């Protein structure tokens, strides 16, 4: 449970920590799109180099990133195996009717694996180096244009901020409740599937109850401080756009350009 690192913040003072959250968010999102430019091994190599550089720059040890991928490894392997088993073309190694393992399949599988892990790594870089509250501020800023469409942007970002704020608290609480039920003889991760599902009830109900209590406390605290949802608000934390932030975005554009130059024209594996 507490192995989950996606969405956790690691305090630090690396270059990446200091970049404006808006720049990081934009860069992170653009990376997902840039990923789809890559279509041969050299472009994937460039992307991997970029990813590892970012991971190094964040000052957080690689082990922690790898731990972040672990909870999703089955999903990734499932997708990869679909790619491997159902892509035809190239040299065929094993042929069981509709299921074949071909060279194209293996290559495609590797690309899929790379894409998944790089998305996780890079988004983890963003969340590990950015305070959740800064991230929501950035989101709020970037979503401002949607206000014209009558979208309640400020409320949405407040909800996000509150939700993010409570993730670590609820995780810690989950740990406590699990410990308490373990002490009463529950052994998690043992028994048949229905038995295991039944064991979740003694964790979820206490968590649910305490979350409701917490939500009500929070609502009351906001109410007595005179919170009104539709009032114009100023912000205690100001975001400062600096030269390094522009440099960061330029780096992303450069990455995209390099990939465009290096990618194979014409033939795709899909």
Residue 184 CB, nearest distance to another protein (Å)? Answer: 4
Residue 185 CB, nearest distance to another protein (Å)? Answer: 3
With CB under 8 A as the contact rule, the residue among 97, 185, 232, 266 that binds another protein is 185
Rounded to an integer, what distance in angstroms lies between the CA atom of residue 161 and that of residue 170? 14
With CB under 8 A as the contact rule, the residue among 72, 186, 256, 269 that binds another protein is 186
Residues 6 or more apart whose Cβ sits within 8 Å of residue 87: 102, 104, 105, 108, 109, 269
Cβ atoms of residues 88 and 43 within 8 Å: no
Q: Is 217 in the site for another protein (CB under 8 A)?
A: no
Cβ atoms of residues 26 and 249 within 8 Å: yes
> Which of these, 120, 118, 126, 132, lies nearest to 14 by C-alpha position?
126
Cβ atoms < 10 Å from Cβ of 34? 22
Residue 132 CB, nearest distance to another protein (Å)? Answer: 14
DSSP state of 266: S
Q: Is 205 in the site for another protein (CB under 8 A)?
A: yes
φ, ψ for residue 7, nearest 5 deg: 95, -5
Q: List binders of another protein among 153-172 (CB under 8 A).
A: 168, 171-172
Q: Is 183 in the site for another protein (CB under 8 A)?
A: yes
With CB under 8 A as the contact rule, the residue among 70, 147, 165, 182 that binds another protein is 182
Q: Is 202 in the site for another protein (CB under 8 A)?
A: yes
Q: Is 69 in the site for another protein (CB under 8 A)?
A: no
Contact residues for another protein, defined by CB under 8 A: 2-3, 5, 8, 10, 64, 67, 168, 171-173, 176-177, 179-187, 201-206, 209-210
């Amino acid at each position: 449970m507490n192995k989950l690192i996606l969405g956790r913040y690691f305090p630090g003072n690396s270059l990446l920590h200091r970049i404006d959250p808006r720049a990081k968010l934009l860069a992170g999102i653009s990376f997902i799109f840039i990923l789809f430019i890559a279509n041969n091994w050299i472009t994937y190599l460039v992307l991997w180099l970029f990813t590892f550089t970012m991971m190094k720059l964040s000052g957080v040890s690689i082990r922690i990133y790898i731990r972040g991928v672990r909870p999703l490894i089955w999903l990734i392997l499932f997708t990869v195996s679909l790619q491997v088993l159902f892509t035809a073309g190239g040299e065929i190694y094993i042929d069981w009717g509709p299921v074949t393992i071909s060279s194209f399949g293996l290559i495609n599988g590797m690309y899929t694996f790379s894409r998944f892990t790089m998305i996780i790594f890079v988004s983890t870089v963003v969340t590990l180096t950015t305070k959740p509250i800064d991230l929501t501020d950035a989101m709020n800023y970037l979503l401002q244009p949607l206000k014209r469409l009558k979208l309640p942007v400020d409320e949405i970002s407040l909800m996000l901020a509150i939700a993010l704020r409570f993730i670590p608290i609820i995780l810690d609480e989950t740990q406590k409740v699990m410990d308490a039920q373990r002490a009463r003889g529950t052994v998690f991760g043992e028994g048949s599937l229905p038995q295991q599902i039944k064991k979740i009830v003694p964790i979820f109900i206490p968590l649910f109850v305490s979350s409701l209590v917490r939500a009500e406390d929070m609502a009351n605290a906001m109410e007595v401080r005179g919170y009104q949802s539709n009032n114009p608000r100023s912000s205690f934390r100001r975001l400062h756009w600096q030269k390094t932030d522009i440099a960061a975005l330029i780096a992303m554009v450069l990455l995209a350009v390099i990939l465009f130059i290096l990618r194979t024209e014409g033939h795709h594996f899909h």
